């Protein structure tokens, strides 16, 4: 169905707003890639200063090609100064069920 990448980022205290702004400025580096299905930024509600960046891709080989591209490396370099730690997770989407409320959001 799709390939999902989840990046957990721990942001240096006091730089959360600047991180969010930089992330928004650079989203085209990801969403502008022809294999990208979308990208989300979420702020963890239980861990202050922790964010989750989720992006969906047509498949893993095309994500890996993007991951090694100059465009991605430049985008990543702009976010790196805000980061104090984190982790990287990849997964295959094997199922999806749309909830009733999704049809009401138009």
The model carries a pTM of 0.90
Predicted confidence at residue 106, as pLDDT, reads: 59
Q: Which of 101, 96, 36 is nearest to 65 (CA)?
A: 36
Q: Does residue 1 register a pLDDT over 90?
A: no
Across all residues in the chain, what is the average pLDDT? 95
Q: Rounded to whole angstroms, how far apart are CA atoms 65 and 60?
A: 9
In this predicted model, what pLDDT tens digit does every residue of 55-99 receive, in sequence order? 999 999 999 999 999 999 999 999 999 999 999 999 999 999 999
For 29-59, how does the pLDDT look when each residue is reduced to its tens digit (9 = 90+)? 999 999 999 999 999 999 999 999 999 999 9
């Amino acid at each position: 169905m799709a390939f999902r990448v989840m990046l957990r980022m721990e942001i240096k205290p006091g730089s959360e707003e600047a991180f969010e702004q930089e992330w928004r400025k650079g989203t085209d580096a990801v969403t502008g890639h022809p294999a990208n299905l979308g990208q989300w930024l979420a702020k963890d509600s239980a861990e202050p200063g922790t964010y989750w960046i989720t992006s969906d891709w047509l498949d893993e080989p095309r994500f890996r090609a993007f991951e090694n591209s100059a465009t991605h490396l430049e985008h990543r370099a702009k976010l790196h100064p805000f980061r104090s730690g984190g982790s990287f997770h990849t997964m295959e989407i094997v199922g999806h069920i749309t909830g009733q409320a999704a049809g009401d959001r138009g």
